[in-house]
């Protein structure tokens, strides 16, 4: 074989290697969920052509599906290197053969590895459907299939047992990164991006982070009459209200507005409400919010009493509270929207003591200290070590957090000075 013909064969082998590299990269980097979108898979009904079916078949076992591809890739590269070495050594000696192999290494790495891999990564969606049938066709060639799958099986037996059965897991960070890229490419809008973030964060949310705290609970005493309870329900606008016996730590039931209305229409206005109350549901404050939502859906209840580690009432949580963690505030025509924060002159803010720290961080563009608190009021309580009086405050991140209003033991208004603002 002449040197010219030999070099042509080497070039063809490296070009074929480039196609195999692109095939491997595109199939390895396509997610199953994305592949089902590309192929038109919808539940049990599949609207797929032959290429789509080939792709899904490959993804069922990528290692074995790509085994023949990788085996042929290695064979092509070894054949190209061996042929080039023999041809150059025969015409110019072993020294020049070494030089030729170095040149092949550089150009082969650049043109037959990095370049096709980069193209495949940037055009995965477009290339994967075209290359999947090619990969399956290689796997049907028995002289390639048998040794390739034999070596794959040997490699799998060498793996530690936990790795053999390990499933592919998509992390939250990966999902958020995909959402960020989708937002940047305008595949989704900002609201959809925020919803994805909320759903992911919801999985790490505890009930105590979304509950109505004990001081803000509105209850009715068990000895109130139907008429008196209706007046309370009309004032607070809630469809369900806890019924307490001897204090808030003695919740004996949940009163439904429709039960009150039915008793009123039946002329039972003087009947105590304890006979109308339905059994309460109790959940620990450390329960996962998403678990509670699924439980509420399955057992068909909308309100639960949250208890602390000592069995005392910590607050209450409704299905609406849980849904608002995902979709944002849900308001009807009777709700009076309260501003989350009131801007002040000089760059300061006036906020409620219950304002979550993470929301305040977003407003201030800063990271406030983290600890065993979730709200601005909790931060101030921890720093002072006692129930504050009006006028007290703390210095945090170069700003003064001054207490403006206290109701009982609750901080209801806090003034946050602007950067460098004198107090």
∠ at Cα 13 (8, 18), nearest 5°? 125
Q: Which residues contact 99 (CB under 8 A, 6 or more apart)?
A: 88
- CB count, 10 Å around CB of 273? 25
Residue 280 to residue 296: CA distance in whole angstroms: 13
Q: Could you state, in order of their start, the residue ranges of all structural domains in the chain?
A: 3-164, 172-202, 207-327, 342-416
Q: Which residues contact 326 (CB under 8 A, 6 or more apart)?
A: 195, 198, 199, 202
Per-residue pLDDT reduced to its tens digit, 273-283:
988 999 999 99
Strands 240-244 and 220-221, sheet pairing:
parallel
Per-residue pLDDT reduced to its tens digit, 318-335:
999 999 888 877 665 555
Place of tokens 């229409």: 265
Please say whether the beta carbons of 357 and 375 come within 8 A.
yes
pLDDT band at 42 (very low <50, low <70, confident <90, very high): very low
207-327 and 342-416 in the same fold:
no
- The two counts, helices (H) then strands (E), for the chain are 17, 14
Read off the pTM: 0.56
Please say whether the beta carbons of 252 and 277 come within 8 A.
yes
The residue that leads in pLDDT, 177 or 67, is 67
Find, among 345, 340, 348, the residue nearest to 364 by Cα. Answer: 348
Give yes or no for residue 305 having a pLDDT over 50. yes
The residue that leads in pLDDT, 131 or 372, is 131
Which option is the CATH number for 342-416: 3.30.465.10, 3.40.50.2300, 3.40.50.970, 3.90.1150.10?
Answer: 3.30.465.10
Strands 410-416 and 349-351, sheet pairing:
antiparallel
Q: Which residues contact 218 (CB under 8 A, 6 or more apart)?
A: 232, 236, 238, 241
Q: Which of 23-37, 112-126, 194-208, 346-360 has the lowest mean pLDDT?
A: 23-37
Look at residue 304 in the predicted model and tell me its pLDDT.
95
Look at residue 89 in the predicted model and tell me its pLDDT.
80
pLDDT band at 399 (very low <50, low <70, confident <90, very high): confident
The CATH architecture assigned to 207-327 reads Roll (3.10)
Give yes or no for residue 423 having a pLDDT over 60. no
Please say whether the beta carbons of 257 and 238 come within 8 A.
yes
């Amino acid at each position: 074989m002449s040197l010219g013909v030999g070099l042509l064969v080497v070039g063809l082998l490296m070009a074929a290697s480039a196609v195999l590299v692109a095939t491997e990269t595109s199939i390895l980097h396509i997610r199953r969920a994305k592949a089902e979108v590309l192929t038109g898979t919808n539940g049990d009904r599949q609207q797929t052509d032959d290429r789509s079916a080939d792709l899904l078949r490959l993804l069922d076992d990528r290692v074995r599906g790509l085994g023949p591809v990788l085996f042929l890739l290695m064979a092509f590269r070894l054949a190209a290197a061996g042929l080039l070495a023999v041809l150059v050594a025969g015409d110019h000696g072993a020294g020049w053969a070494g030089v030729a192999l170095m040149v092949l290494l550089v150009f082969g790495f650049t043109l037959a590895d990095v370049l096709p891999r980069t193209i495949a990564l940037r055009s995965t969606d477009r290339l994967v459907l075209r290359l999947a049938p090619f990969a399956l066709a290689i796997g049907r060639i028995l002289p390639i299939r048998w040794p390739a799958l034999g070596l794959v099986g040997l490699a799998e037996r060498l793996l530690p047992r936990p790795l053999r059965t390990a499933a592919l897991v998509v992390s939250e960070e990966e999902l958020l990164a995909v959402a960020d890229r989708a937002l940047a490419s305008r595949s989704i809008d900002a609201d959809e991006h925020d919803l994805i973030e909320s759903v992911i964060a919801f999985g790490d949310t505890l009930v105590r982070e979304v509950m109505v705290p004990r001081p803000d609970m509105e209850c009715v005493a068990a000895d109130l009459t139907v008429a008196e309870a209706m007046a309370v329900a009309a004032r607070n606008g809630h469809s369900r209200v806890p019924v307490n016996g001897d204090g808030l730590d003695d919740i004996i039931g949940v009163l439904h507005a429709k039960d009150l209305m039915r008793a009123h229409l039946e002329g039972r206005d003087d009947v105590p409400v304890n006979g109308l109350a339905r059994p309460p549901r109790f959940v620990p404050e450390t329960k996962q919010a998403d678990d509670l939502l699924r439980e509420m859906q399955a057992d068909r209840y909308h309100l639960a009493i949250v208890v602390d580690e000592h069995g005392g009432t910590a607050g209450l949580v409704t299905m609406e509270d849980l849904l608002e963690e995902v979709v944002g505030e849900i308001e009807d025509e009777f709700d009076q929207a309260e501003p989350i924060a009131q801007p002040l002159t000089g760059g300061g803010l006036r906020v409620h003591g219950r304002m979550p720290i993470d929301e305040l961080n977003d407003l201030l563009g800063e990271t406030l200290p983290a600890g065993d608190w979730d709200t601005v009021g909790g931060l101030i309580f921890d720093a002072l070590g006692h129930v504050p009086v009006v006028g007290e405050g703390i210095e945090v991140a170069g700003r003064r957090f001054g207490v403006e209003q206290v109701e009982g033991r609750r901080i209801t208004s806090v003034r946050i000075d602007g950067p460098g603002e004198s107090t």
